Chain A
């Protein structure tokens, strides 16, 4: 018997989550197997959170399942979160599966490298696959330090042969290849330091492990030429920073990465940067809403051989929050590619219906003219997505 009586308090347990119905309506016919212009699916996201009476131990779980009636590969499930947080004073130790966000900019987040993206979820979402980890986070007046051990890496997801919003030829995410003896259990590690600097926000990060951005190698896929993703180990340093004035946020994200496989499967050391600003006009047009104007520039040192579609792209956007009871929110952006002359238009509108429902409409319209661009296969995939979600 170490100490006195066992704490009699009960753990506080909360079940929550959401269920979603989704329709994707494609504006143009595709070719071959991609014969449906309407794509229906549903998704379930149950969540559990249990906290110890002291609040120092928390167990959280979040599962995800999507059933897609057109693209069997998009039917998938994932453990988004399943973790145990132990708080020891100013330090929190996390064991399990979690997702992490790093970054400041809007068009992409170059420094955000802990999780793999759940690509089949769509061109808008920040949906990520759960990442197994052990994390130690220490919070002090001087800043926040995080250290990660990442024993295993997730494989990116890509639309299947009946699915749309994919490259031509397609990519079979399940047939991933690994370079130089690396495999899915290749151990990764990361560090992040957010010093408390007056006047601006700063994050410095380091990562070593399997790249979350694969290159691609030709394979035979049921008699057709397709691609397999090819993963290799990389080392990356990153900086994300933001300077804030009353109306304008000035943002920068930059990385230097060693060992990345480019589109020709050659190993490259390269730098990439996103910089830009977001200017907010409060009470726009005498109304109750806020209008945000976004201007960003993305540059990737690998240029045409980059695995990233934002190699030399200007992104313009507007964000409008109505500040109303329904939390109505609009975000519209266009990415102007200075290498291939392509344009990617995106618009997203969300609002709450009543107390428990949320409606979301998304429009994606690509203008792709150059068949040398890796995402040229998306050229007929202009799509309007409507989702309705119930939250409990």
Chain B
């Protein structure tokens, strides 16, 4: 009887004393891996890349969009890298631009430039989970990659596509996020994510992002291709990156809402 109870008593002890320590270390370890990824990017200053976005329907049809993504690194503790997306196709939205200033502890600032009426419009950022121009990427998939926007839990070491990986779950702190958690597979060798699984608010697997063709530019790793597959609809979106440029020489004023006017 005592023998039967004893393990039970032990497990209570475990829960009260040992488990929190384990949980804390899992969260610290997860955070450390995410930070290592973030640090691997530090000092890139700014970048510009051409992106072809290919949207595949469940029926196998596809359409393309072309855009340029400009990024300005921010090293403050309370804000993330500024991004400016400028569309070059389809033709009816050519020169339309989307500017994002992300913040860790408050809503992002976002502006849309509509070239046909030359209007810069402030837009609401509440729909983070909404699709970005009809793709399988949500707004937050582009704009919420800052370490401080998640809490972490280290899951396991493993292997993905023959490469050793560390698997970390991250939990969005933003209540408007469309995700309950994301499971990120970080390559042990270069600390970059190879795969991210997105779980919706009902805890079902919603999407999988696969990042391939990593190359090093000025010491910074970037993928050539990202594929986002929506498991619930069968639709997917490819991002094909080309012509990466670093050290473009962007300034803060190039990522100011008024700078949208200068794009012509």
- Give the interface of A toward B (CB within 8 A): 16, 18, 49, 58, 60, 85, 87, 90, 92, 99-101, 104, 126, 137, 139-141, 143-144, 194, 196, 201, 242, 244-249, 278, 280-283, 288-290, 292, 323-327, 352, 355-356, 358, 389, 391-392
Q: Is the CB of B127 within 8 A of A280?
A: yes
The answer, among B91, B109, B118, B130, for a CB contact under 8 Å with A290, is B130
Closest approach, in angstroms, between the C-beta of B173 and any C-beta of chain A?
14
Q: Is the CB of B90 within 8 A of A280?
A: no
A contact residues around B261 at 8 Å (CB): 137
A247 in contact with B126 given A85-B264, A140-B253 (CB within 8 Å): yes
Asked whether B124 is an interface residue with its Cβ less than 8 Å from the other chain, the reply is yes
| Most chain A CB within a 10 A radius of its CB, from B92, B93, B109 | B92
Q: Is the CB of B127 within 8 A of A101?
A: no
Asked whether B189 is an interface residue with its Cβ less than 8 Å from the other chain, the reply is no
User: Nearest A residue to B108 by beta-carbon distance?
Assistant: A246
Q: Is the CB of B122 within 8 A of A244?
A: yes
B contact residues around A90 at 8 Å (CB): 253
B contact residues around A327 at 8 Å (CB): 93, 133-134
A contact residues around B90 at 8 Å (CB): 352, 355-356, 391
Asked whether B131 is an interface residue with its Cβ less than 8 Å from the other chain, the reply is yes
Closest approach, in angstroms, between the C-beta of B15 and any C-beta of chain A?
37
Closest approach, in angstroms, between the C-beta of B123 and any C-beta of chain A?
8
Q: Is the CB of A139 within 8 A of B133?
A: no
14 new A-B pairs (CB below 8 Å) besides A87-B262, A352-B92? A16-B91, A60-B264, A139-B259, A141-B253, A246-B126, A247-B124, A282-B127, A282-B129, A283-B178, A292-B124, A323-B132, A327-B133, A352-B90, A356-B90
Counting contact residues on chain B (CB < 8 A from A), the size range is 35 or more
What are 21 A-B residue pairs whose CB atoms fall within 8 Å in the complex? A18-B91, A18-B92, A99-B118, A100-B118, A126-B117, A144-B258, A196-B256, A246-B107, A246-B124, A246-B176, A280-B126, A282-B126, A283-B130, A288-B131, A292-B124, A323-B130, A323-B134, A327-B93, A356-B90, A358-B92, A391-B91
Asked whether B222 is an interface residue with its Cβ less than 8 Å from the other chain, the reply is no
B contact residues around A355 at 8 Å (CB): 63, 89-91
Q: Is the CB of B124 within 8 A of A283?
A: no
Asked whether B252 is an interface residue with its Cβ less than 8 Å from the other chain, the reply is yes
B contact residues around A16 at 8 Å (CB): 91, 94
Distance, CA A144 to CA B132, complexed state (A) = 30
Closest approach, in angstroms, between the C-beta of A26 and any C-beta of chain B?
26
| Most chain A CB within a 10 A radius of its CB, from B93, B119, B120, B129 | B119
Asked whether B55 is an interface residue with its Cβ less than 8 Å from the other chain, the reply is yes
The list of the 3 closest CB pairs from A to B, nearest first, reads: A282-B127, A391-B91, A280-B124
Closest approach, in angstroms, between the C-beta of A50 and any C-beta of chain B?
11
Distance, CA A193 to CA B130, complexed state (A) = 34
A contact patch SS: strand
Distance, CA A298 to CA B189, complexed state (A) = 62
Distance, CA A49 to CA B95, complexed state (A) = 12
The answer, among A137, A246, A278, for a CB contact under 8 Å with B125, is A246
Q: Write the B225-263 contact mask toward A (1 if CB under 8 angstroms, else 0).
A: 000000000000000000000000000110011110110
B contact residues around A141 at 8 Å (CB): 252-253
Distance, CA A306 to CA B124, complexed state (A) = 34
Q: Is the CB of A249 within 8 A of B264?
A: no
Asked whether B128 is an interface residue with its Cβ less than 8 Å from the other chain, the reply is yes
Q: Write the B57-75 contact mask toward A (1 if CB under 8 angstroms, else 0).
A: 0000001000000000000
Q: Is the CB of A139 within 8 A of B130?
A: no
A389 in contact with B130 given A85-B264, A282-B124 (CB within 8 Å): no
A283 in contact with B134 given A139-B258, A196-B256, A352-B92 (CB within 8 Å): no
A contact residues around B127 at 8 Å (CB): 280, 282-283, 290, 323
Distance, CA A43 to CA B127, complexed state (A) = 36
A contact residues around B262 at 8 Å (CB): 87, 92, 137, 139
Q: Is the CB of B122 within 8 A of A101?
A: no
B contact residues around A281 at 8 Å (CB): 126
Q: Write the B99-141 contact mask toward A (1 if CB under 8 angstroms, else 0).
A: 0000000010100000001111011111111111110000000
The answer, among A201, A280, A324, A389, for a CB contact under 8 Å with B134, is A324
Closest approach, in angstroms, between the C-beta of B130 and any C-beta of chain A?
5
Q: Is the CB of B131 within 8 A of A290?
A: no
Distance, CA A280 to CA B134, complexed state (A) = 18
B contact residues around A194 at 8 Å (CB): 258
B contact residues around A92 at 8 Å (CB): 262
Q: Is the CB of A283 within 8 A of B93?
A: no
Closest approach, in angstroms, between the C-beta of A287 and any C-beta of chain B?
9
A139 in contact with B253 given A92-B262, A288-B131, A289-B130 (CB within 8 Å): yes
A139 in contact with B256 given A283-B129, A292-B124, A326-B134 (CB within 8 Å): yes
Closest approach, in angstroms, between the C-beta of B169 and any C-beta of chain A?
23
B contact residues around A245 at 8 Å (CB): 107
| Most chain B CB within a 10 A radius of its CB, from A90, A325, A352 | A325
User: Nearest A residue to B118 by beta-carbon distance?
Assistant: A101
User: Nearest A residue to B88 by beta-carbon distance?
Assistant: A14
The answer, among B93, B130, B264, for a CB contact under 8 Å with A58, is B264
